[in-house]
Amino acid sequence: MKKNFYAAAIIVSGFCFSQEKNHGIKAGFFDGIVTAGYVDHGAFINFTGPNISFKNKDIKILIGMLPSLRIKEDKSEGAKNSTIMPTLGAGLTFIYKKFALQVPLYYNTKTATQDGAWKTVLGLGYSFR
């Protein structure tokens, strides 16, 4: 059991702390990618957050958390939400050279008129790295 743990720790540390290569699996905190898209009658702006990525030459695939700003006007009666709200999504990002295609998932919480539900979205963006 201990040997398996040590072997796993060595492999993970090799992925996380190895020198920068042009390919391979790597954990990251922020990758300099910004995307925008449309969801649920509103827009979003995403920034890549903590993730695990795979890179091979000009192609990079990320799976991770997506700190976001959702822009949506609240048309309900009475007390209203802010038009711009911070939120957290999760999903996949595909990067080819500097262009990004993102498939984030967001959870819309339950309201008086709607059940809570996951929303799948599509966004386009740019990689600054």
Give 88-123 pLDDT, tens digit per residue.
999 999 999 999 999 999 888 777 777 888 888 899
**Domain ranges for the chain:** 22-127
Hey, CA dihedral for 6, 8, 16, 46, is it positive or negative?
negative
Could you report the per-residue pLDDT of 43-84, keeping only the tens digit for each?
A: 999 998 899 989 998 899 999 999 999 898 877 777 777 889
Q: Indicate the pTM of the whole model.
A: 0.71
